[in-house]
Amino acid sequence: MIVGRSQLARLTAGKAIGNTALRWIPFFLFELERAFDATTAQLTTILGVGEMAGLFTLLVGRQLDGGKERWFMSLSLGFVSVSALMALSGSLPIFAASFFLLIIGVSLYTVGGHTYLSRRVPFQQRGRVIGIFETSWAMALLIGAPIVAVLLRLGGWRAPFVFIAIVAALCAVLVATTTDHVGPTKDATGPPNRDPLGLDAWLLIAGSAAIAMAGLTTIVIVGTWLEDAFDVSVGGVGALAFAFGVAELGSSSSSAVFADRLGAVRTTRMALVGLVVGIVVMTQASTSLIVAILGLFIFFLGFEYSIVTSFSFVSEAAPAARGRVLAANNAIGTLARGTGTIASGLLFERFGISGPVAVSFGAAVLALGLLTVSQRRTQIA
């Protein structure tokens, strides 16, 4: 492995602040509803449309293969910082624009980081490295969400945005000045591969996108559901987000340990079964907060493992064009996440939690089917 521990830690820290900027919003959506005088459906529509900004990564795949990962990762953290400053205006339209910019930033950092790591780490060890990198997703809840909860209580809804703007700017400088440069991607014959991506690559990309929809459609509405159905306070949501962060950290760590040993696709399918079980438990919660938390805990375990591990097998779908395949993966995942996010608010207002989880259930089943077909066609286990 060429990537050193300190370098991986810095890259992971940068991703953690971007993920915190993104993930605190759904959990405390009810706070922003009051801040912007907006409905749940209005905000989830803004979040869903904003997710479409991830399509921007389609434009940078070849540049990533050309060795510009460090530049894009630094720029993306700058976008995260600027987006937080924009949100301070208190205007709903400007918040919508800021979220659009935030998605561009988070997406660029994700594909830049995955391309950088995939080019430097052999596939046999890549599950562990990407699993560590993606603990940033869990850290956003484990560390970021409790900090946000405290900031909301002490400084109001603007305080988290100020915190994120400052820390993201500092991380941008850190990544720009300490990340090693790598030259252009080359396959065995020489220049970067420009052939169209094949069916096997698209099957894995579609499977990863379905996993993203399965997770985000429900996650985006979790905070509102907990407040509406169980009267959970801001502090309570922060505490639960911390607990879910622990679950996700366990899943990310499991991916780092088991994906390389037992097979990335194989274990992802097993995790998706767990995600479905979590959904079933959630639908039985009724007025029981304990059952709701149990279902969410199982759901988070299954989703985190499956989405993190999907990055590993997608990165090997086209080894000579990793920048392009990871950019395409993010773009298709963006469409899936955006569609699910828009639907979640509308379905929640009409059907309660049963509406969003029904979409998550269908997306998880679709992902299982796609990965099953892919495993039979390819050598990627």
**Position 248 in a domain:** yes
Q: Based on the structure, what is the number of domains in the chain?
A: 1
Q: Which three-class secondary structure state does DSSP give residue 202? A: helix
120-161 pLDDT tens trace:
888 778 878 888 898 898 899 889 999 999 999 999 999 999
Q: How far is CA 348 from CA 66, 206, 296, in A?
A: 44, 26, 16
190 inside domain: no
CB 323 within 8 A of CB 63: yes
Backbone torsion region of residue 195, taken as left when φ is above 0, otherwise alpha when ψ lies between -120 and 50, otherwise beta: beta
For residue 189, tell me if it sits in a domain. Answer: no
Residue 263 forms part of a structural domain: yes
Of the candidates 10, 25, 234, the one whose C-alpha atom is nearest the C-alpha of residue 133 is 10
Q: Which residues form the domain of 342? A: 5-179+198-377
Here the tokens at position 267 are 């274990």
Please name the residues in contact with 354: beta carbons below 8 A apart, sequence gap of 6 or more: 283
Residue ranges, the chain, pLDDT below 50: 1, 187-190
Report the distance separating Cα 159 and Cα 304, nearest Å.
28
pLDDT of residue 193: 56
The answer to whether position 172 is within a domain reads yes
User: Per the domain annotation, does 265 fall within a domain?
Assistant: yes
Asked whether residue 193 is domain-assigned, the answer is no
Q: Tokens 């709903």 appear where? A: 92
State the helix-helix crossing angle for 5-27 and 92-120, rounded to 10 degrees. Answer: 150
Summarised one tens digit per residue, pLDDT across range 204-260 is 999 999 999 999 999 989 988 998 999 988 888 888 888 888 887 887 777 767 777
What are the CB-based long-range contacts (under 8 Å, 24+) for 277-283? 277/302, 278/302, 279/218, 279/357, 279/360, 279/361, 279/364, 282/218, 282/353, 282/357, 283/353, 283/354, 283/357
Domain of 351, CATH number, reads 1.20.1250.20
